[in-house]
Amino acid sequence: MKLLVTLFWALVIGQVVGYIMTALSGTTDNVAGTAIVSLLFGCFVYALSALTIAKPTKKAD
């Protein structure tokens, strides 16, 4: 479920940033290209967080 939420927000935020950047530069918006880059970046961030965040360990009593 965390992967879907991460990909959803990566897509939404990526589209907003892509729209703002193309509006500021005066070029046409490429929605499909922006979506692909956003989803790839979201996968990268998810994999990075899965590798670097330590899982809590159970303490043996």
- Give the chain's mean pLDDT: 91
Domain housing 37: 2-41
Tell me whether residue 14 is in a domain. yes
Cα end-to-end distance, the chain, whole Å: 32
**What was the pLDDT predicted at 1?**
85
22-39 tens-digit pLDDT: 999 999 989 999 999 999
Kindly state the helix (H) or strand (E) to which residue 11 belongs, with its residue range.
helix 2-25
Q: At what angle do helices 2-25 and 31-52 cross, to 10 degrees?
A: 140
**What was the pLDDT predicted at 58?**
77
Tell me whether residue 46 is in a domain. no
Burial class (CB in 10 A: 0-12, 13-18, 19+), 52: exposed
- Is the predicted pLDDT of residue 61 greater than 70, yes or no? no
Cβ atoms of residues 7 and 43 within 8 Å: yes
Q: Which of 17, 41, 12 is closest to 29 using CA atoms? A: 17
Question: Does the predicted TM-score (pTM) go above 0.95?
Answer: no
As for how many domains the chain has, the answer is: 1
